[in-house]
Amino acid sequence: MVNYREILRLHSLNYTQRQIAASVHSSRNTISEVLHLAHENGLSWPLDDSVSNETVRALLYPDRPDAGNPRKEPDYSYIHKELARPGVNLTLLWTEYCSTCTAEGNIPYMYSQFCDKYRRWARVTKATMRIKHKPGEAMQVDWAGTTIPYQDPVTGDTYSAYVFAAVLPCSCYAYVEACEDMKSTNWLLCHVHAYEYFGGVTRLLIPDNLKTGVLKNTRYDTILNKSYHEMAEYYETAIVPARVLHPKDKSLAEGTVKFATTWIIAALRNRRFFSLDEVRRAVAEKLEELNRYPFKKREGCRYSAYSDEEKAFMKPLPLAPYEPAAWSTAKVPPDYLISDGKNKYSVPFDLIGEEVDIRLTKEMVEVFFHGSRVASHKRASKQLRNPVAQPEHMPMEHRRYLSYNADEFIRWAQTAGHHTVSAVEKFLASGREPEQGYKSCAGLARLGDKLVIV
């Protein structure tokens, strides 16, 4: 509001209008208008202390509505909630605010004032965290540097349980799990369990640059582990690794890991565990305490913040959880058999000498050549004496050899004539066992094929 009392006081001291304008931070036109109206209404300094600026204004502008601030105040709570939605920013909300003011005949704030007033409101209400992180936007993941020891009750050997942590930056809702190692399979399974715990999937996944997830991360190129990339495609999320030596890119994950180290690992330091399952149960209990522990600077807890503000923005889970797969590369040997480390499985014989990609899951063995699947086998759970082979992967000669048996030779001979049947029966009976005559029968069959061709 214009400081009418100060204008009249300075004018009585013979200050110029330029000096008065600079002192009360009003325009010279406003100063000239106020002095002119004061002269017309017989108003001059000194004024009684009971005469306020509002009283002077009512006297000078009797027809002007009483409004301390003619501009319409934005709905800061609405702005705060809308900013959490994907793609919404302050520019868009200011444009909508201006349109509303125009429709209602009000004067809007300029964009810079709009932003400053909102940020001031957000700072006062401790809400700046949600300005930086949109709900359902990202999940940050990392391994804790500290382990939890447990002991084999029979041998007395001591082992270490490694702690995986995932956090949603918007609500700070966390997932923590203990694993026997930090290898690729557990790394992928922890992600699967985290998504199941959260009940949804985020748009982005922000890991560190560990080799189980990221093979190469430079300023210009990012090469992901094939299994990690496959998991991201399955959940329709995008992996954006933190920059090398830039822990602030996933500061909440770093902070949650440290907090989990204190809240979970340090809290369990005096407990003795005799199996990994015991460690996992204890970590799960402490995790629930962590997520339901009240915030210090705002109302609620991690769980309530997630349920109220973030859960609705999570992408839905697929119908079935992802099954971790291990990828490797091998050159197809002359016997056209590849190995899963325990058993051997066939691939098409015309790939002998070629490099193929092998995808191993708990249930399946799949072979890819130039991105196309060329073989698929059900993975054996125990070691087999013979390789798992499919007839269509074999050359014709090998298929024929496998089909060698007395019944097959007799069946073939019947198609050639009764004399051929007699000869085959004689070959099969010539030795101690029928197998001793297979070679002669096979030779006769090849001769018959040549005669047919001629």
On the question of pLDDT at 177 being above 90, the answer is yes
Lowest mean pLDDT among 168-177, 200-209, 253-262, 441-450: 253-262
Strands 204-206 and 138-143: parallel
On the question of pLDDT at 404 being above 70, the answer is no
3-class secondary-structure state, position 376 = strand
On the question of pLDDT at 67 being above 60, the answer is no
On the question of pLDDT at 435 being above 70, the answer is no
Tell me the one-letter amino acid at 65. P
Any idea where the domains of the chain sit in the sequence?
A: 4-60, 76-132, 138-296, 326-393, 404-453
Q: How far apart are CA 367 and CA 154, in angstroms?
A: 42
On the question of pLDDT at 229 being above 50, the answer is yes
Under CATH, to which class is 138-296 assigned?
alpha beta
Which of 209 and 267 is assigned the larger pLDDT? 267
Confidence label for 221 from pLDDT (cuts 50, 70 and 90): low
- Region of 341 on the Ramachandran plot (φ > 0 left; ψ -120 to 50 alpha; else beta): left
Model pTM above 0.85: no
Which of 337 and 391 is assigned the larger pLDDT? 337
Peptide bond into 70 cis (omega under 30): no
pLDDT at position 193, please? Answer: 94
pLDDT at position 372, please? Answer: 87
pLDDT, mean of residues 69-74: 77
Over residues 116-125, the pLDDT tens digits come to 888 877 766 6
Confidence label for 288 from pLDDT (cuts 50, 70 and 90): very high
Q: How far apart are CA 254 and CA 267, in angstroms?
A: 19
Which of 227 and 201 is assigned the larger pLDDT? 201
pLDDT at position 241, please? Answer: 80
3-class secondary-structure state, position 311 = helix
Sheet holding 372-378, edge to edge: 326-331, 355-360, 364-369, 372-378
Backbone dihedral angles phi then psi of residue 38, each to the nearest 5 degrees:
-65, -40
pLDDT, mean of residues 74-97: 83
> Tokens at residue 358, please?
């092998």
Over residues 372-399, the pLDDT tens digits come to 889 989 888 888 888 888 888 888 767 6
pLDDT at position 127, please? Answer: 44
Q: How far apart are CA 77 and CA 80, in angstroms?
A: 5
pLDDT at position 46, please? Answer: 83
Q: How far apart are CA 181 and CA 362, in angstroms?
A: 18
Element (H, E) at 284: helix 276-292
Residue with tokens 């399946």: 364
